[in-house]
Amino acid sequence: MSGLRPFALHRPDTLDEAIDLLEQHGDEAMIYAGGTELLILLKAGLVRPRRLVDVKRLPRLREVAEAGDDLVIGATVAHRDVERSAAVRRRCPLVAEVARHVANVRVRNVGTVGGNLAFADPHSDLATLFLIFDATVELRGRSGARALALGDFIQGPYETARADGQILTAVRLHAWPAGTAGAYVKYGVYERPTLGVAAALFPAASGRPAELRLAAGCIGPRPQRLGRTEAAARGLDPRTIGERADELAALAAVEVDPMSDLHGSAEYKREMTRVFVRRALAVAAGRAQGAEAHARYAHTVVV
Amino acid sequence: MPDTHTPSSSRIACTVNGGPVALDVAPHALLLDVLRDRLDLKGAKRSCDLQVCGACTVLVDGAPVSACTYLAVEADGRDVLTVEGLGVPGALHPLQAAFVEHGALQCGFCTAGMLLTAKALLDEEPDPTPEQVAHFLRGSLCRCTGYKKIVEAILSCATTPSGAPR
Amino acid sequence: MRVTREVVVTAAPTALWALLWDVPRMVACVPGCTEAREVEAQRRYAARMRQKVGPIALSVPLEVDILEAEPPRRIALRARGRDPVIGAEISMRVTLVCEPRDGGTALSIDADGQVLGKLGGLGHGVIQRKAEEAVDEFAARIASAASG
């Protein structure tokens, strides 16, 4: 496999330049950031771009910014930088913690958040987690900028709503209200996770009942917000939701849309959803009471 | 129309193991190939070629990267450290001495990557817990030792805040 | 992968059969298939199939062989080809059956095959889903072409 087929490397300094290059070269060009997914495809000969457009010099894409209640993570921010960012730790601490567990330390140093979302590998921790932060992605092209809900952006395995000539420039997360207890539980023995469950328990506030946010990812063609399960949990006190965990986990197992692959059959993944939603709820409910869960599960990372 | 951004090769200037290196590399050249074939630094190994095993690990500006999946042009302006820059026979790095003493290598194929990853860990966290060591080494695979002696060797190089060995 | 579907069209069985037995026209209803042509009447046909899975583009010159034909109700064919650029090999056996139903025709489709090579490494789940989408689209196009 070693060695890559030759390509020309463009390193634009501005977004307009980058977009112009993509428009000009069409199918011949692919966007390059960390390259942790792209270079693997190139080595396998599955894609053969004649040109790469390196977006790492574009200034805004490297930044993490706080904007009102939102956290905006630029597309070329590496996972390692998300982990260490003071702004991420302030606004969305669970995101910093999960970023620490993406892939391995080498991939975290080089791979980027934007690259992860734009590649849309079904086995993605961040894509799963971001769904419960009401994430939107910003796309820029010649016709301007548009924002798209992450759930609409990711359309299937390796397929997104990004059109040719568009660049994913940032992902925007909506910070949780104070007192929210969250958890991300990921399971697997391979390089990529077999299952990821993201759960958040929002406390009741004036005019708003307590709320569960729940997403399951890595098991199907794309990560999924489990709206029906969330609806069944609406109004339940986060501190006692553990009493209903079995029932909610069973609902989640019915709601997911798993896909068989080398990580396991669809039936297995459905059952694992039930098991891990229950565990994620237990962790989150414990945190809602100020208690940290110490249970350990085989091949599982509890964040 | 000449395209100033796309020469068929570019000159990179970096430091490798503390010494300056200037080379013309093609955009598609991988760092691992440049290190092994042009600079004769054979410590980093091509193993999985998919960045999942860690045998090709080198440090770029102190951070572990998979040289098999890293373009050489990205090293421009940066410091690269390979295992050859860690220590030499007669003047081993403490991690290398510890690996030998603890029996943390057998065939040696993963060792260069393990050492550099361990160095990066200790530079960031001089007194790591076993969990922190395991976390950092995740994705560095060894088929021989069962990892226990590797972790012990690394922990034996931990230092307390005062700089004394733990 | 294996995909089975049944679709009911308003056209009469003879009209639907006429479409299916016009193999180049039938193959052209497969999403991504173009340049469908006859090589040997009622025996062998050819087409080019283009598909995309994310950033990966597939372009396969297909050889379509008629294995069994029982006019006017059943046709079994095999489609094979290899994309030399990405080294993907596709091999499919497709059986199409027309039965009168409710004043129209029920068309049942049974597609059974495999994708070999690096593309197959994307995972059975992705390939299966792509195949299901393709068969659903094919059924919709056949229904529309037969009724129109």
For residue B2, the model assigns a pLDDT of 38
For residue A106, the model assigns a pLDDT of 98
The length of chain B in residues reads 166
Are the beta carbons of A46 and C126 separated by less than 8 Å?
no
For residue C148, the model assigns a pLDDT of 67
pLDDT mean over A203-210: 93
Encode pLDDT of A228-269 as tens digits: 999 999 999 999 999 999 999 999 999 999 998 889 999 999
Residues 6+ apart with CB under 8 A from C5: C108, C109, C135, C136, C139
Backbone torsion region of residue B35, taken as left when φ is above 0, otherwise alpha when ψ lies between -120 and 50, otherwise beta: alpha
Encode pLDDT of A68-78 as tens digits: 999 999 999 99
For residue A1, the model assigns a pLDDT of 46
A238 to each of A116, A208, A216, A275, C99, how far by Cα in Å?
A: 32, 14, 19, 19, 57
Residues 6+ apart with CB under 8 A from A251: A226, A228, A229, A232
Q: What CATH number corresponds to the domain at position C109? A: 3.30.530.20
Q: Does C59 touch chain A (CB under 8 A)?
A: no
Q: Does B46 touch chain A (CB under 8 A)?
A: yes
User: Which residue range(s) make up the domain with C79?
Assistant: 2-147
Are the beta carbons of A110 and B28 separated by less than 8 Å?
no
For residue A3, the model assigns a pLDDT of 82
Lowest mean pLDDT among B4-8, B51-55, C112-116: B4-8
Residues of A within 8 A of B28 (CB-CB) are 3-7, 9
For residue A190, pLDDT beyond 60 = yes
Residues of A within 8 A of C87 (CB-CB) are 45
CA C40 to chain centre: 18
Reported as half-sphere exposure (CB side, CA atoms, 13 A), residue B33 has a value of: 16
pLDDT mean over C75-103: 94
For residue A117, the model assigns a pLDDT of 98
For residue C125, the model assigns a pLDDT of 80
**Percent share of chain A, pLDDT over 70:** 99
Q: Band of the pLDDT at B163, cuts 50, 70, 90?
A: confident
CA end-to-end span of chain B:
63
For residue C144, pLDDT beyond 50 = yes
Mean per-residue pLDDT over chain B, rounded: 94
pLDDT mean over A216-232: 97
Residues of B within 8 A of A80 (CB-CB) are 63
Encode pLDDT of C97-143 as tens digits: 999 998 899 999 999 999 998 887 777 788 888 899 999 999 999 98
The dihedrals phi and psi of C108, each to the nearest 5 degrees, come to: -110, 135
Q: Give Rg (Cα) of chain A.
A: 19
Q: How far is C125 from chain A (nearest CA, A)?
A: 5
The whole-angstrom separation of Cα A248 and Cα A185 is 16
Provide the whole-model pTM. Answer: 0.94
The whole-angstrom separation of Cα A152 and Cα C80 is 35
**β-sheet with A70-74: strand ranges across:** A64-67, A70-74, A167-174, A136-141, A144-149
Encode pLDDT of C7-63 as tens digits: 998 888 988 999 999 988 888 899 999 999 999 999 999 999 999 888 999 999 999
Q: How far is B138 from chain A (nearest CA, A)?
A: 6
**Per-residue DSSP letter, A176:** P
Residues of C within 8 A of A159 (CB-CB) are 53-54
| More reliable by pLDDT, B161 or B19 | B19
Considering its fold, how many domains does chain C have in total? 1
Mutate to test the interface with B, among A30, A105, A192, A303 (most CBs of B within 10 A): A105
For residue B6, the model assigns a pLDDT of 54
Q: Band of the pLDDT at B3, cuts 50, 70, 90?
A: very low
* B79-81 and B57-60 beta bridge pairing: antiparallel
For residue A2, pLDDT beyond 70 = no
Q: Band of the pLDDT at A191, cuts 50, 70, 90?
A: confident
Q: Does B120 touch chain A (CB under 8 A)?
A: yes
Are the beta carbons of B69 and A36 separated by less than 8 Å?
yes
**Between A and C, how many CB-CB pairs are < 8 A?**
54
